């Protein structure tokens, strides 16, 4: 039987509560004979700082490097916000991305029928929406050099950054996107601004050439301004979208908010060998931490993505997705997805319901 070697990094705030429920779900699948599990836990974020003076302690990083995949809760602790930037909890994520070469960020945005009313858009516009945004995570204007703020001869200051992508970087995110599309609805929309930016003109050329290797995937291109508009106008037209770091940063937040339920959205960040870090898109929610109020479904669905993308276990991943759908159909709800007639539960109660549905 395949053994899954998983590093569990619960982090801060609600992190420990929600990862505990995702671990229960993985253990249930293990009990059912899908795989065996090696789980090792380590502190990260504010918890890492309190433990050993750094948000990404060396022992935690070593564990993350040696594991096949990482289940990450959330980091963030307002009481540590006065620390120098490099010691703040959020630096742990940036450090892990960099150290592990996690260049591909996968963010599904799915509307469950029971939650269509939670979106700020009309239910008929969003119901049935099921898209995934793939964002390149380690390049683009966020990392390009030169950058800075300089003073011109006339004394005026000028800020500048460099948008830059190498062909090899576009190829590697392109492969991830085409392969994700093959696992879903076989449609890929590449988002750029090729009419104005040379960098994204190259992006479009490389994506088009790559498309020849994937004849079963229907490739289209869209300018980013139109993509922002189309996500609000008709989000159901999209299956997989792929884009650079900056456009992806903005569009993935826009898409996730179409669902209206932050506690439901998982994510994956992958390296070149499909090793990945899996985490809910939300933060550490200090306002509800330790109160058994947090929705663990985003983290449970992140564990499902781990089974699908790192371990290639589609059956086990589908079992998690189906269990979550069943629980929602039963009307079980944490406070953030509460609705008339729902059965209110806490974090643990939601974990109980998913385990029972499995
Ligand atoms: P947040 O996502 O933690 O919370 C925003 C709101 O959504 C809060 O009202 C919170 O109670 C609610 N919420 C979030 N997750 C929920 C869940 N699972 N169930 C129910 N309700 C949920 O964002 P914030 O309050 O702006 O930030 C809190 C801390 O988290 C900050 O320190 C921030 O830097 C950090 N943060 C971390 C990550 C990460 O770990 N990847 C991401 C975003 C923010």
Q: Check whether 256 has a pLDDT greater than 90.
A: no
> What confidence tens digit (pLDDT) does each residue in 280-311 have?
999 999 999 999 999 999 999 999 999 999 99
Q: Is residue 85 part of a domain?
A: yes
284 lines ligand 1 (CB under 6 A): yes
Of the candidates 158, 185, 190, 186, the residue with the CA atom closest to the CA atom of residue 174: 190
Could you identify the atom of ligand 1 that is nearest to the CA of residue 285? Answer: 3
> What confidence tens digit (pLDDT) does each residue in 9-63 have?
999 999 999 999 999 999 999 999 999 999 999 999 999 999 999 999 999 999 9
Q: What percent of the chain has pLDDT over 90?
A: 93
Could you identify the atom of ligand 1 that is nearest to the CA of residue 18? Answer: 18
DSSP-assigned letters across all residues of 172-208: HHHHHHHHHHHHTTSEEEEEE-TTT-HHHHHHHHHHH
Q: Is residue 300 part of a domain?
A: yes
- Our CA angle for 280, 281, 287, nearest 5°, is 85
Q: Is residue 238 part of a domain?
A: no
Q: What is the mean pLDDT of residues 189-216?
A: 98
* Boundaries of domain holding 290: 1-108+261-358
Distance 96 CA to ligand 1 centre (A): 19
Of the candidates 141, 68, 90, 115, the residue with the CA atom closest to the CA atom of residue 259: 115
Q: Is residue 16 part of a domain?
A: yes
263 lines ligand 1 (CB under 6 A): yes
Q: Is residue 321 part of a domain?
A: yes
> Which residue's CA is minimally distant from atom 1 of ligand 1?
283
Residue pair 177/204 in contact (Cβ under 8 Å)? The answer is no
When pLDDT is cut at 50, 70 and 90, the band that residue 262 belongs to is confident
Q: Number of structural domains, the chain?
A: 1
When pLDDT is cut at 50, 70 and 90, the band that residue 119 belongs to is confident
75 lines ligand 1 (CB under 6 A): yes
Measured torsion, CA atoms of residues 335, 337, 341, 346, in degrees rounded to the nearest 10? -40
Distance 75 CA to ligand 1 centre (A): 9
Q: Is residue 302 part of a domain?
A: yes
> What confidence tens digit (pLDDT) does each residue in 311-329 have?
999 999 999 999 999 999 9
Distance 285 CA to ligand 1 centre (A): 4
22 lines ligand 1 (CB under 6 A): no
Q: Check whether 194 has a pLDDT greater than 90.
A: yes
Any idea which residues carry the catalytic annotation? Answer: 142, 193, 225, 249, 253
> What confidence tens digit (pLDDT) does each residue in 128-149 have?
999 999 999 999 999 999 999 9
Q: Is residue 211 part of a domain?
A: no
Task: Give the CATH number for residue 79.
Answer: 3.40.718.10
**So what's the pLDDT on residue 118?**
83
Could you identify the atom of ligand 1 that is nearest to the CA of residue 11? Answer: 40
Tell me the pTM. Answer: 0.93
Residues 133, 121: Cα–Cα separation, whole Å: 19
Could you identify the atom of ligand 1 that is nearest to the CA of residue 45? Answer: 40
> Which residue's CA is minimally distant from atom 32 of ligand 1?
76
Q: Check whether 163 has a pLDDT greater than 90.
A: yes
Residue pair 32/25 in contact (Cβ under 8 Å)? The answer is no
Distance 284 CA to ligand 1 centre (A): 5
> What confidence tens digit (pLDDT) does each residue in 69-92 have?
999 999 999 999 899 989 999 999
Q: Is residue 166 part of a domain?
A: no
């Amino acid at each position: 039987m395949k053994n899954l070697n998983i590093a569990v990094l619960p982090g801060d705030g609600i992190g420990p509560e929600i990862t505990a429920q995702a671990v229960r779900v993985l253990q249930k699948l293990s009990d059912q004979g899908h795989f065996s599990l090696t789980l090792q836990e380590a502190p990260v974020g504010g918890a890492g700082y309190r433990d050993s003076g750094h948000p990404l302690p060396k022992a935690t990083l070593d564990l993350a490097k040696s594991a096949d995949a990482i289940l990450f809760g959330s980091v963030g602790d307002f009481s540590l916000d006065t620390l120098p930037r490099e010691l703040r909890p959020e630096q742990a994520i940036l450090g892990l991305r960099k150290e592990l070469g996690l260049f591909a960020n996968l963010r599904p945005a799915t509307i469950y029928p029971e939650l269509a009313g939670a979106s700020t858009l009309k239910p008929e516009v969003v119901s049935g929406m099921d898209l995934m945004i793939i964002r390149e995570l380690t390049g683009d204007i966020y990392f390009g050099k030169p950058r800075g703020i300089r003073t011109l001869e006339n004394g005026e200051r000028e800020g500048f950054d460099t948008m830059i992508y190498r062909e090899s970087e576009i190829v590697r995110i392109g492969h991830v996107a085409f392969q994700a599309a093959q696992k879903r609805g076989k449609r890929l929309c590449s988002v750029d601004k090729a009419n104005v930016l040379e960098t994204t003109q190259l992006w479009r050329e490389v994506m088009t050439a790559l498309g020849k290797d994937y004849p079963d995937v229907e490739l289209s291109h869209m300018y980013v301004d139109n993509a922002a508009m189309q996500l609000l106008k008709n989000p159901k037209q999209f299956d997989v979208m792929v884009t650079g770091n900056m456009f992806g940063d903005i569009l993935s937040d826009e898409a996730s908010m179409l669902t209206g339920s932050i506690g439901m959205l998982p994510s994956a960040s992958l390296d070149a060998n499909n090793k990945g870090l899996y985490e809910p898109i939300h933060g550490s929610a200090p306002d509800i931490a330790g109160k058994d109020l947090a929705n663990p479904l985003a983290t449970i669905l992140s564990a499902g993505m781990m089974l699908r993308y790192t371990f290639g276990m589609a059956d086990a991943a589908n079992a998690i997705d189906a269990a979550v759908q069943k629980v929602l159909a039963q009307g079980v709800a944490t406070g953030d997805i509460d609705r008339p007639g729902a059965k209110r539960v806490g974090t643990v109660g939601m974990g109980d319901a998913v385990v029972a549905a499995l």
